[in-house]
Structure 1
Amino acid sequence: MTREAAPALTARLRAASHPGAGTCACVCGPLADRPDATVVRHGATVAKAHAPDTDPYELTLRLAVAARIPGILLPPLDPAPARLDDRLVTHWPYGAPVDRDDPDAAPWEAVATLLARLHRTAPPAGLPPMRGPAKAAQAMSRLRRALRDHTSTAAPPVLAAWAALPPWARAETPAPGTPFLCHGDLHLGQLVRHPAPDGPWHLIDVDDLGLGDPAWDLARPAAWYACGLLPPDEWLRFLTAYQEADGPAVPADGDPWPVLDVPARALTAQSAALALTKALTAGRPLDEVEQALVDACARMTGTPAQLARDFPE
């Protein structure tokens, strides 16, 4: 299956929903179509074609976790993935996503509370590692490949920020400490209301679910805050709600940054690498947000005073 997977996946989902029917009035169409994931909706059902290299055994384990904690993760409609050409396909109930056009309504408290509950859930035996560090390493590999054909003065600080991280954050060794059940790729796009449109919030996307350092799940909003891309009041709402829900990733009070520092730096480097790769491939300059990420990487390898401004207490 190529990147043009959406039509085939939509047709298959329509046929499964209405066997023998010629037409239907359901809301349907692609929700995402990327090389690593194609997601389509047909009425109340969503089908996702996972990345071609997805391990079927590990995906089945992750689906089982989602089915076991339905109040936290959106439960799948089927316990095991199906196949469509070279892709594994999973089926889910449709949930209403966060409104991107209304940033003031971002449900920071809801996502923080769900994360805390996820982190406090006892993980099942045999669950693979959380894939956050591995995805960050993949982003850096993509940047290095792009640099074979392009030059960029923005690349050295991004590569230097990555090189300064400890091995576990670069997916070279296991994360230290006791592993917790982690989402692995937390952002507001991983949140839906189910039943739509106004049911309770649920976390979605189990592709990176696994065992690891729970601070990684707080790292993207922490990095955005440190880079000046997330307002302080929104960061405080998120952090406070997580602490009040007894989340184990950070202390209940006091300075959270000794715990968040490494994951936040890793997510900053990952985000900067992805942004720079996209810009290089498109042959365009960095936009304001992308430049802010690269600038943060430059400051991360600068003086202690600069680091204090980027990663405040």
Structure 2
Amino acid sequence: METGKALVQELAGVARRAAHPRGPARAGCPACGRVAPAVLADRADGTVVRHGHAVAKAHAPGTDDAAHRTRLAVAAHPRLSGILLPPLPVSAAEVRGRPVTAWPYGTPVDPTDPDAAPWEEAATLLARLHAVPPAELPGPLPPMRGPAKAALAVARMRAAGPHPAAAPVLAAWARLPPWARAEPEPPDPPLTALCHGDLHLGQLVRHPAATGPWLLIDVDDLGLGDPAWDLARPAAWYAAGLLAPDVWARFLGAYRAAGGPAVPPDGDPWPRLDVPARALTVQTAALAVAKSRAEHRDLDDVELAVVEACTRIATLLPELDPDCTS
């Protein structure tokens, strides 16, 4: 997706005003002399532009206004202090028909230094998030959008056209219970915990930048749901052989040590993690197939690994798969 220059300029203006809320840009601002704004992300679900100490985000077209406002109110609530990065006041709530928010700039996880990845910090933040009583927060809280995003990924793969890897992904998708496919049935387990909805290492930043503690960002999928979903991506990577066992053990151990409610405090966590991990495996594989089709290339080794994991999911014996609906 290529960002329009006009959208970038308008977002840069929102970020600039958020960075300098008391008037004109102060002398020495490192961003005010830049020729072009810094585009940090440009995807269908959001465009993010940085100016100095602030960033502005244009959220996805069609964002639900009421749910969006509630999610922002939760991020700004004192109960989430030290867990979620709080938003900044903005001069415009909409740009080119898309909701816009402003946030402090934080230092992201360094993708070139995997040994320094903050897995324990991420797990601890999740445990703290899941422990916040929803009744103490602004509402009504919308559902966490994790299952909906998995369904969108499968729809995107289908729309991309035929692909030899699509069959095992769709077969694995069919083995999931309705609630994990975002189908309109009562979820099991019930939606009882505040969840992030799209946890990965790209959803953490240090704030204040470079020296501050790690905080969770991106509340677009935040809401009530099964907290196991927030552990599902690292669980799926571990099951597919993409996350080292010791890293998974550190992540799970930190979550348990912080009192996270998604899994029992000891013993086998997989009865709680199995369905969400399978759903995230399908989501990851579906996006990989769609992207490879759009880019006219073969699947890479990581993408092949998640597709192969879907093949294993699709061939589970029914007696070993209590959630099988076929």
Tell whether the structures are fold-level matches, with TM greater than 0.5: yes
43, 49, 74: which is aligned to 1:65? 74
On the 8 A contact 1:6/1:33 being kept in 2, the answer is no
Q: Corresponding residue for 2:116?
A: 105
1:290-305 to 2 correspondences below 5 Å: 290-304=303-317
Q: How far did residue 57 of structure 1 move?
A: 1.5
Q: List per-residue Cα deviations over 1:185-214 (Å, max 9, x = no partner).
A: 000000011111110110000000000000
Pair 1:186–1:22, CA change in 2 (3 A): closer
Q: Corresponding residue for 2:30?
A: 26
Is 1:96 matched up with 2:107?
A: yes
Is 1:194 matched up with 2:207?
A: yes
Q: How far did residue 25 of structure 1 move?
A: 4.4
Q: Corresponding residue for 2:182?
A: 171
Q: List per-residue Cα deviations over 1:8-45 (Å, max 9, x = no partner).
A: 31244336656666997424511101121001111111
Q: Which runs of 5+ in 2 are unaligned?
A: 32-36, 322-326
On the 8 A contact 2:18/2:89 being kept in 1, the answer is no
Inter-partner Cα distance in structure 2 for 1:169 and 1:81: 36
Inter-partner Cα distance in structure 2 for 1:232 and 1:21: 49
Matched to 2:216, the amino acid is L
On the 8 A contact 1:49/1:89 being kept in 2, the answer is yes
Inter-partner Cα distance in structure 2 for 1:228 and 1:235: 11
Pair 1:80–1:253, CA change in 2 (3 A): farther
Q: List per-residue Cα deviations over 1:98-152 (Å, max 9, x = no partner).
A: 11110000111100000000000011341000000001000111111112xxx22
Inter-partner Cα distance in structure 2 for 1:64 and 1:153: 44
Q: Which runs of 5+ in 1 are unaligned?
A: 309-313
Q: Corresponding residue for 1:311?
A: none
144, 153, 177: which is aligned to 2:164? 153
Is 1:128 matched up with 2:142?
A: yes
Is 1:119 matched up with 2:130?
A: yes
1:1-313 to 2 correspondences below 5 Å: 3-4=3-4, 5-14=7-16, 17=19, 25-27=29-31, 28-68=37-77, 69-78=80-89, 82-123=93-134, 124=137, 125-147=139-161, 151-172=162-183, 173-178=185-190, 179-304=192-317
Q: Corresponding residue for 2:324?
A: none
Q: How far did residue 257 of structure 1 move?
A: 0.3
Between Structure 1 and Structure 2, how many residues are aligned?
Answer: 303
Q: List per-residue Cα deviations over 1:154-177 (Å, max 9, x = no partner).
A: 110000000110000000124223
RMSD: 2.2
Pair 1:226–1:81, CA change in 2 (3 A): farther
Inter-partner Cα distance in structure 2 for 1:240 and 1:263: 19
Pair 1:80–1:223, CA change in 2 (3 A): farther
TM-score, normalised on structure 1? Answer: 0.91
Pair 1:79–1:176, CA change in 2 (3 A): farther
Pair 1:17–1:78, CA change in 2 (3 A): closer
Q: How far did residue 236 of structure 1 move?
A: 0.4
TM-score, normalised on structure 2? Answer: 0.88
On the 8 A contact 1:36/1:51 being kept in 2, the answer is yes
Q: List per-residue Cα deviations over 1:59-83 (Å, max 9, x = no partner).
A: 1101111111121000111389711
